[in-house]
Structure 1
Amino acid sequence: MQTVISSGADAQLSSSEPIFFLDYLIMLARHKSSLIGLPLVAGSLAAAITFAMPNVYTGSVRILPPQGQSGAASALLGQLGALGGLGGGALSGKTPNETYIGMLSSRTVSDELIARFKLDKVYETEFPSDSRRALKNATTFTNGRDGMILIEVNDKNPERAADIANAYAESLRRLTQTLAVTEAGRRRLFFQTQLNQAKESLANAEVALKNTQERTGLIQLSGQAQGIIEAAANLKANIAAKEVALRAMRTFAAASNPEYLRAQEELAGLRAELAKVERSPNSGNGDISIATAKVPGVALEYARRLRDVKYFESMFELLAKQVELAKIDEAKDSAVVQVLDPAVIPDKKSTPRRSLIVLITMFVTFVFAAGRALFKELVREAEQTPGTAQRIQELRAALRLRSVK
């Protein structure tokens, strides 16, 4: 195909390149009908197909999720000692935007939007799973580098596309108010659980203290124990005085003397009362008397029950304070999810991009036609070479025989 002027290597190189380029142009010119016709036909078909496709509009909304979590309750965690360290260590860490995107992609949000906009009829789906899949394919969530979340919804109706995008933002704001996705929310749940446990333990401790008081009769440890001891001492003193008086009466009174008999009865009553104070068990039912022999054991049991009540009271007060502060922080954090750019009704379609599709189709078809033309030229030149032409004939014969077989 190319003619080479043999006047040295440099002359051969400089003369061969333009001749090859001209040969290539000649080859393209021989197939100009296919190189022009095929792209035009393909472009026409692509244009017809794209014009048959419905216009799709994109509604987009840009939201600003919480950027930082700092609550007043974090400054008071030290009041709980080791428990405060547990709460801070377990609940530290900020919620990434992927968490909010996961919430937007949840089945709860999808079902809510499907029911609200009747998307099962819009997408012409029979099963809820198919409706969710269609909504998922029509929605795109983008976690931007600027820390914002972009929600894009494609729909044939521009108004519906904007409404669904705004509904996603509303659902996210509502979920952040009901679910513990912020640090304050997780802290509130943690301390609320601990508060409920402390409340139950306090109630059990108070019941145990009440049962101890009813069973032992000990109501106030220090005052009642002191009163019991003083009562026993007074009884002993009265008994001693009455015994002295009886010994004195024996010197001048007979055994049947009424005064002497009354003094003996009084002495017996004092001794019985002392025996009750020292050894008699508490009978309950409002009886607050305690045997002096049992005062140490009863006092120990009472002190333990009272200590449990005071301990759980302190825990309950501290946890209640932390819960209230976490509620304040949670209410503040839940309002941080803001819509920066609400979705508006799009005035231009997003797809299909008909001109771009037609141009790409024509370009790809032209490349295919050029490759096809080049292949035909190579085959034609090969057939003009005696040795190569014979091999091509043998190949064709072999292929025909093989197809026959």
Structure 2
Amino acid sequence: MHLKPPTYVDNAAVPEPREVLAVLTQHWKVIAFVTAAFLFFGVAASFLLVRPSYTSIVVFLSPHGSQTLKPIGSGLSAAMLNSPSLNDRIIQKLQLQTAWKLTTFADAREALKSQVQIEVSTYDVVKITVRDHNARLASDIANEYLNGLNALDTRLAESDAADRYGFLDRQAKQENDELRQAEDRLQELQRRSGLIDPSRQTAQAILNISQLHAVIAARAVDLQSMRRYASDTNPGVIQLRATIAQLERQLSDRQNDASPRAVGDIQIPAGNIADLALQHQRALREVTLHSNQSGQVMLQLAQARMNLMRTAPAVLVIDRAIMADYRSGPQRLLLWLASCWAGFFTACLYVFLGKAMALSGYDAASIRRLLRPKAGPGLNTPTA
């Protein structure tokens, strides 16, 4: 049997809308049946195959209450919420692998990632949306994100506070040791030189030297007067000269004396006052410097100790998740409309293909024969 040669239609001829409408009207029963069939399967699938879902939402501000850490921005909060350690903690605590009947822990991670949506606004407001087929489980997951973020921020704050406290404790010990050494050097200088209060001791040394100068001058006048009527061998002249010599030695000792000083002697030679005062000022400045630094470090150490003992929540919750009373999905009306549209489109495509085949001269039997594989050489092809 030979195939009927197809009758080709002019490609330039474009069907008019009336012709298209006429074809659809002619096969309206087929279109209605297919559309109704798709709608029936869509309704059945929406009730039997698609499980209802529930949504829980948590809204909070980024953590800013940590005194040891810098303020955490919303971007860092989102990164902390997406951290594998936090997700694994939620999966293990709520036993999501068992609740979702998954075989591996990795599948539970992927399922949790697909059901959680984290949104960050420009005002450091973080919104967590959780969708699940179990309303209570959805709210538990959302609230557990809050608890996990709070625990993570607290752990970071405690770690930072512990490191800061350890560093300040070592600095305080070092400053105390340096302060003690500076005080020992100042004490040794005071014991060796006898210089305790440079200003008063300097004034006293100058006063003593002035008094000795005055006494020596007075004795010199007495000696000059005595020599007018007494010889040099006169006992009074000899005694007066000895007294003047002794006073001059005392004056020399008061002005410059390099001999070792006895413990408790605070009479400072005037010639050594400038050098000893400079040494005393440097030693005292070093003691004051280390004393101020030690006081500041001790104050910071006390604050670090308070931060280490304080456990205040860092997450400022705006809205905590509650169990949803109504399901948020699936949108059955949208599924039904999509099923109707898919059925109508499929039916129209079937009708137009059938019409095109009829216009081309091919029937169903001819199409089946064309789709059969060709026989090889030497084989007899059965004819109808």
Q: Please say if 1:18 is aligned against 2:15.
A: no
Deviations 1:176-198 (A, max 9, x none): 67767xxxxx9x9xx99999999
Alignment pair present for 1:213 and 2:186: yes
Name the structure 1 match of 2:78.
Answer: 101
So what's the TM-score if we normalise by structure 2? 0.57
Shift of 1:238: 8.2
Q: Any residues of structure 2 matched to 1:9-48 within 5 Å, and which?
A: 17-27=17-27, 29=29, 34-37=34-37, 40-41=40-41, 44=44, 47-48=47-48
Instruction: Return the match for 1:138 from 115, 126, 137.
Output: 115
Mapped partners of 1:240, 1:130: distance in 2: 110
Query: Which structure shows the higher helix fraction?
Result: 1
Cα 1:222–1:212 change in 2 (3 A) is farther
Preserved CA contact (<8 Å) 2:169 2:301: no
Unpaired runs of 5+ in structure 2?
A: 1-13, 307-311, 378-384
Amino acid at match of 2:253: L
Q: Does 1:278 align with 2:275?
A: no
CA deviations on 1:112-139 (whole Å, 9 max, x unpaired) are 5445434454456787766555433332
Paired position in structure 1 for 2:138: 161
Return the letter of the residue paired with 2:189: T
Q: Describe the superposition over 1:38-59 as per-residue Cα deviations: whole angstroms up to 9, x where unpaired.
A: 5545654565422xx4x43322
Give the equivalent residue in structure 1 for 2:309: none
Write the distance in 1 (CA, Å) between the matches of 2:279 and 2:354: 108
Aligned length: 336
Q: TM-score, normalised by structure 1?
A: 0.55
Secondary structure of residue in 2 paired with 1:279: coil
Map 1:6-405 → 2, pairs under 5 A: 17-27=17-27, 29=29, 34-37=34-37, 40-41=40-41, 44=44, 47-50=47-50, 53=51, 55-64=52-61, 96-107=73-84, 109-123=86-100, 132-143=109-120, 148-172=125-149, 203=176, 206-207=179-180, 209-217=182-190, 218-227=195-204, 251-252=233-234, 267=246, 274=253, 278-280=257-259, 292-307=270-285, 338-354=316-332, 356-383=334-361
Aligned 8 A contact 1:27 1:374 in 2:
no
Separation in 2 of the partners of 1:363 and 1:282? 114
Instruction: Report the RMSD for the aligned CA atoms in angstroms.
Output: 6.1
Q: Do the aligned partners of residues 347 and 38 (structure 1) sit closer, same or farther apart at CA in structure 2, a change above 3 Å counting?
A: closer
Give the conservation status (yes or no) of the 8 Å contact 1:143–1:149. Answer: yes
- Contact persistence 2:118–2:129 (CA under 8 A): yes
Seen in structure 2, the aligned counterparts of structure 1 residues 29 and 49 have a Cα distance that, compared at 3 Å, is same
Deviation at 1:160, TM superposition (A): 3.2
Please report how far the alpha carbon of residue 22 of structure 1 lies from its aligned counterpart in structure 2 after TM superposition.
0.9
Moved more, 236-245 or 341-350: 236-245
Does the 8 Å CA contact 1:209/1:302 hold for their aligned counterparts? Answer: no
Cα pair distance change 1:174/1:292, threshold 3 Å: farther
Q: Distance in 1 between matches of 2:318 and 2:183?
A: 59
Query: CA offset at residue 307 of structure 1?
Result: 4.3
Q: Letter of the aligned partner of 2:26 in structure 1? A: I
How far apart are 1:200 and its partner, in Å? 7.9
What CA distance in whole angstroms lies between the structure 2 residues aligned with 1:194 and 1:289?
46
State the identity as a percent: 21
Gaps of 5+ in 1: 1-12, 70-90, 181-185, 329-333, 385-391
Give the Cα separation in 2 of the matches to 1:345 and 1:132. 22
Shift in Å, 1:381: 1.7
Kindly provide the CA deviation profile for residues 278-308 of structure 1, in whole angstroms up to 9, marking residues without a partner as x: 324679x988776655543443344345446
Q: Corresponding residue for 2:380? A: none
Report Cα offsets for 1:90-146 as digits up to 9, x if no partner.
x8xx86533433343345544554454344544567877665554333322223578
Equivalent position amino acid for 2:59 in 1: R
1:16, 1:26 → 2: CA distance? 15
State the distance in 2 between where 1:126 and 1:291 align.
94
Counterpart CA distance in 1 for 2:35 and 2:80 is: 53
Amino acid at match of 1:274: D
Of stretches 241-250 and 147-156 in structure 1, the one that deviates more from structure 2 is: 241-250
Q: 1:239 to 1:121 in 2, by over 3 A?
A: farther
